């Protein structure tokens, strides 16, 4: 058995779902299951969404706590933890969970060999495609945000994500305007990025991207998407031919759907933003992206992107 852990918001989940489905294809005779216990502790953004916003065919096969603990020392929260205060649940999810696993691994050194981590930013570990899964079970805990994990190519990845929700009247109107113009989406991610190592897409970055679009696209119409529209209006208030798209907090997927319909995209360093551009099937699309996804005291981490994307220094 192979178990893939899901965590984070929708963008992260989509990378993890690609790994889940890729491993099912890679190991057709081995059960591949999902661990979504993270969302019993935290409902970041809108919680676990993959099966709510995309058609997932036969659905996800979820591993039970007993199944996982039968072969690896991973700490899996139960029903009791779901009733704890939010601050304690966060500490369990990002701290105690890993300390517990490390301690248990010391007691049973063999078990730790069956946990494969992909939490390093944009790292690639081809070990997951060379597993001796016929003899051992494995637990995969990672982000998997590297294009090399798209083992079976873009068409395979696109086949995994068919939108499930229908537009409201407002989104239909925006969609029509996107279709009728040389539409360019601009995505500004704020929220938990502000004052963090992810807070790197400056006004200078967006100005450079907009200038490049204007030099390549005739009469561009900009559609601005953000989780902080007040700040977006401050940043882009003087931009001509710009429409500020009203977000839907309960169904943020509408933003992704609309951005993916735009003919061109200016993305932020968020996975949500990346997926909106990746699901854009316009063969002549121009996608502008920040060169890095994270900058901190330890260094800068390149954004893993398709070769045709144009990157801008931040």
Tell me what pLDDT residue 78 has: 73
pLDDT at residue number 114: 80
Q: What is the model's pTM? A: 0.91
Per-residue pLDDT of the chain (314 residues; tens, 9 = 90+): 999 999 999 999 999 999 999 999 999 999 999 999 888 887 667 889 999 999 987 779 999 988 988 887 777 777 777 777 877 777 777 665 666 566 655 555 555 568 888 888 888 999 999 999 888 899 999 999 999 999 999 999 999 999 999 999 999 999 999 999 999 999 999 988 888 888 889 999 999 999 999 999 999 999 999 999 999 999 999 999 999 998 776 778 999 999 999 999 999 999 999 999 999 999 999 999 999 999 876 678 889 999 999 999 98
What does the H/E/C string look like for 267-288?
A: CCCCHHHHHHHHCCCCCCCCEE
């Amino acid at each position: 058995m192979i178990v893939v852990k899901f965590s984070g918001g929708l963008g992260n989940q989509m990378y993890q779902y690609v790994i889940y489905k890729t491993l099912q294809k890679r190991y057709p005779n081995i059960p591949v299951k999902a661990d979504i216990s993270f969302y019993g502790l935290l409902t970041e953004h809108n919680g676990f969404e993959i099966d709510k916003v995309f058609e997932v065919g036969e659905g996800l096969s979820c591993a039970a706590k007993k199944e996982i603990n039968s072969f690896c020392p991973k700490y899996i929260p139960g029903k009791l933890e779901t009733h704890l205060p939010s601050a304690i649940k966060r500490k369990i999810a990002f701290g105690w969970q890993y300390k517990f696993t490390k301690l248990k691994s010391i007691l049973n050194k063999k078990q730790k060999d069956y946990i494969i981590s992909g939490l390093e930013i944009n790292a690639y570990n081809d070990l997951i495609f060379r597993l001796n899964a016929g003899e051992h079970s494995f637990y995969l805990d990672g982000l998997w945000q590297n294009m090399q994990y798209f083992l079976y190519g873009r068409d395979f990845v696109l086949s995994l994500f068919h939108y499930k929700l229908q537009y409201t009247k407002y989104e239909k109107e925006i969609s029509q305007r996107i279709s009728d113009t040389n539409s360019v989406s601009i995505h500004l991610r704020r929220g938990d990025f502000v004052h963090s190592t992810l807070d790197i897409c400056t006004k200078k970055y967006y100005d450079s991207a907009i200038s490049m679009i204007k030099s390549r696209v005739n009469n561009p119409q900009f559609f601005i998407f953000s989780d902080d529209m007040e700040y977006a209006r401050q940043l882009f208030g003087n931009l001509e031919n710009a429409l500020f798209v009203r977000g839907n907090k309960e169904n943020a997927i509408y933003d992704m759907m609309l951005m993916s319909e735009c003919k061109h995209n200016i993305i932020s360093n968020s996975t949500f933003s990346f997926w909106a551009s990746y699901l854009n099937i316009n063969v002549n699309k121009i996608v502008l992206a920040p060169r890095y996804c994270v900058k901190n005291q330890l260094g800068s981490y390149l954004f893993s992107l398709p070769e045709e994307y144009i990157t801008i220094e931040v």
